[in-house]
């Protein structure tokens, strides 16, 4: 039996991991066997134009505009979800557009509210529940954010036909947090985006600022939970023993940026830190190739995409020893306590000084990348779709 599948693309490049993950899902959907699936790809913004041109599948622009921001985020919060879902098609044209496609299943890869706001058979995604597990960070708890996230994930678990999570740890956290049937949760681990390829050179090197000859790299937006400050503290601890130690950061300014700048000024280490701002995915390759190592001291998981990107480039990698990171990376990375500047400094010194260690980490990272890549991801998604669309699946 042939099935019709829809995919809904609503993210933009500045949204980071959500946009990358949506690209990975898009590629997997594009690779579905044509004799088994008809596919319609819907998108809401021009960021997807070039990517969608690379395949010959049906595409459809869905102009959510005003409706995305008002009823989806406000009105739907005041109406019972059953009532909202039964009536939204009457006054929201995008709902009618998607319903008219008569798909057997819609894939919403970016934790989209439309996974449950629209009365469609949906495969949704839960990337993390860190508002529950790390609520001390204001970006997931302050100014009503905690309640907003709770409503979102509760509705997603209630109404989605299936949910993909990043890891076994992520699956366990969803089951701990919400009422959801275990067979409805499907583990689909992150993969390095295809555009982070060990064979691909950056095309815009003239726009990239001059980098130091040797540096530790951390690509992350400056949210407090990303924990840039522990790298700064570790650098300060090592500056007398390793005077040429240098950090390079990329990412957009968020709620942790000003504090980080103040800390750097107080410690008088500004000459040892480079801020390169926002860097496009295709130019990120250059940073990974040039870096001595990538260190990611985040407090959030369960797993993350940047370590996979680094490994795909052969860049030695060290990460926070939290949640599902060992499940994700195994022996291909070093691990540290993200709360300990002394522990981070110890790993930083190892990476800076031990050529043999870095060579082994590079080798292990490339091996890890070959064992779980886009082709494996494609096959796993196909298996999940076959389960969700099977006659006995409820």
CA geometry: angle 278, 327, 156, nearest 5 deg = 70
**Residue 173 phi, psi (nearest 5):** -65, -40
pLDDT of 205 = 52
Q: Would 3-191+373-388 and 205-371 be classified into the same CATH topology? A: yes
pLDDT of 1 = 82
Q: Which two tokens stand for residue 51?
A: 């990517």
pLDDT of 294 = 98
The count of C-alpha atoms lying within 13 angstroms of the C-alpha of 235, restricted to the half-sphere facing its C-beta, is: 24
pLDDT of 104 = 95
Q: In whole angstroms, what is the distance from residue 108 CA to residue 292 CA?
A: 37
Give the range among 44-53, 146-155, 177-186, 318-327 with minimum mean pLDDT. Answer: 44-53
Q: Are 190 and 109 in contact (CB under 8 A)?
A: no
Closest CA to 278 of 5, 10, 19: 19
Closest CA to 165 of 134, 191, 186, 192: 186
Give the range among 66-70, 147-151, 162-166, 188-192 with minimum mean pLDDT. Answer: 66-70
**Percent of the chain clearing pLDDT 90 (strictly above):** 71
Query: Averaged over 154-177, what is the pLDDT?
Result: 96
pLDDT at 198 over 50: no
pTM recorded for the entire structure: 0.91
DSSP 320-348: E--TTHHHHHGGGSEEE-TT-HHHHHHHH
pLDDT of 118 = 87
Q: Are 222 and 257 in contact (CB under 8 A)?
A: yes
pLDDT of 89 = 73
Query: Averaged over 319-330, what is the pLDDT?
Result: 98
Query: Yes or no: is domain 205-371 CATH 3.40.50.2000?
Result: yes
pLDDT in tens, 266-318: 999 999 999 998 888 778 999 999 999 999 999 999 999 999 999 999 999 99
pLDDT of 67 = 56
Q: How confident is the model at residue 204 (pLDDT cuts 50, 70, 90)?
A: very low
pLDDT at 262 over 90: yes
Query: Averaged over 313-335, what is the pLDDT?
Result: 97
Q: Please, which residues have CB within 8 angstroms of residue 219's CB and are 6 or more apart in sequence?
A: 249, 250, 251, 279, 284, 287, 294, 306, 309
pLDDT of 69 = 52
Closest CA to 217 of 124, 310, 129: 310
Q: How confident is the model at residue 179 (pLDDT cuts 50, 70, 90)?
A: very high
Q: How confident is the model at residue 95 (pLDDT cuts 50, 70, 90)?
A: confident
pLDDT at 192 over 70: yes
Closest CA to 65 of 91, 45, 42: 45
Label residue 126 left, alpha or beta by phi (over 0 means left) and psi (-120 to 50 means alpha): beta
Highest mean pLDDT among 3-7, 62-66, 388-392: 3-7
DSSP 215-267: -EEEE----GGG-HHHHHHHHHHHTTT-TT--EEEES---TTHHHHHHHHHHH
Q: How confident is the model at residue 3 (pLDDT cuts 50, 70, 90)?
A: very high
CA geometry: angle 373, 375, 378, nearest 5 deg = 110
- Higher pLDDT among residues 385 and 55, named by residue: 385
Query: Averaged over 162-188, what is the pLDDT?
Result: 96
Domain ranges of the chain: 3-191+373-388, 205-371
Q: How confident is the model at residue 209 (pLDDT cuts 50, 70, 90)?
A: low
DSSP 89-129: HHH-HHHHHHHHT--SEEE-TT--THHHHS-S-EEEEE---
CB burial of residue 226 (10 Å; 0-12, 13-18, 19+)? buried
3-191+373-388, what's its fold? Answer: Rossmann fold (3.40.50)
Q: How confident is the model at residue 2 (pLDDT cuts 50, 70, 90)?
A: very high
pLDDT at 108 over 90: yes
Query: Averaged over 154-158, what is the pLDDT?
Result: 95
Q: Are 165 and 188 in contact (CB under 8 A)?
A: yes
Sheet holding 105-107, edge to edge: 58-61, 37-43, 3-9, 105-107, 122-126, 162-165, 185-187
Q: Please, which residues have CB within 8 angstroms of residue 303's CB and are 6 or more apart in sequence?
A: 166, 167, 169, 170, 189, 190, 323, 324, 325, 327, 328
């Amino acid at each position: 039996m042939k099935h019709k599948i829809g995919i809904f693309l609503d993210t933009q490049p500045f949204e980071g991991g959500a946009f990358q993950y949506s690209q990975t899902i898009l590629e997997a959907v594009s690779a579905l066997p044509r004799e088994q699936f008809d596919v319609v790809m819907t998108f809401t913004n021009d960021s997807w134009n070039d990517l969608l041109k690379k395949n010959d599948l049906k595409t459809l622009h869905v102009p959510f505009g005003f409706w995305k921001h008002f009823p989806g985020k406000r009105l739907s919060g005041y109406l019972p979800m059953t009532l909202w879902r039964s009536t939204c098609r009457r006054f929201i044209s995008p709902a009618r557009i998607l319903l008219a496609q008569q798909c057997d299943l819609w894939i919403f890869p970016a934790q989209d509210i439309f996974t449950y706001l629209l009365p469609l058979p949906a495969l949704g995604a839960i990337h993390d529940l860190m508002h529950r597990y790390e609520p001390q960070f204001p970006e997931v708890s302050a100014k009503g954010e905690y309640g907003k996230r709770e409503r979102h994930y509760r509705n997603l678990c209630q109404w989605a036909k299936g949910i993909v999570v990043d890891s076994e740890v992520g699956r366990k956290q969803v089951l701990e947090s919400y009422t959801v049937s275990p067979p409805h949760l499907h583990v689909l681990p992150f993969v390095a985006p295809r555009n982070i390829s060990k064979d691909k050179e950056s095309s815009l090197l003239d726009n990239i600022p001059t980098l130091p000859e040797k540096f530790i790299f951390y690509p992350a937006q400056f949210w407090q939970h990303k924990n840039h400050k522990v790298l700064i503290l570790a650098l300060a601890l090592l500056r007398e023993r390793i005077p040429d130690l240098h950090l390079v950061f990329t990412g957009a300014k968020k709620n942790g940026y000003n504090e980080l700048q103040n800390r750097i000024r107080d410690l008088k280490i500004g000459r040892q830190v480079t801020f390169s701002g926002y860097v496009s995915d295709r130019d990120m390759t250059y940073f990974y190739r040039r870096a001595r190592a990538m260190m990611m001291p985040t407090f959030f998981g369960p797993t993350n995409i940047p370590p996979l990107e680094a490994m795909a480039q052969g860049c030695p990698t060290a990460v926070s020893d939290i949640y599902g990171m060992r499940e994700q990376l195994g022996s291909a990375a070093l691990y540290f306590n993200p709360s300990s500047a002394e522990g981070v400094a110890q790993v930083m010194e190892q990476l800076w000084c031990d050529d043999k260690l870095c060579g082994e980490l590079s080798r292990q990272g490339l091996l890890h990348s070959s064992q779980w890549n886009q082709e494996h991801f494609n096959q796993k998604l196909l298996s999940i779709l076959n389960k969700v669309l099977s006659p006995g699946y409820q």
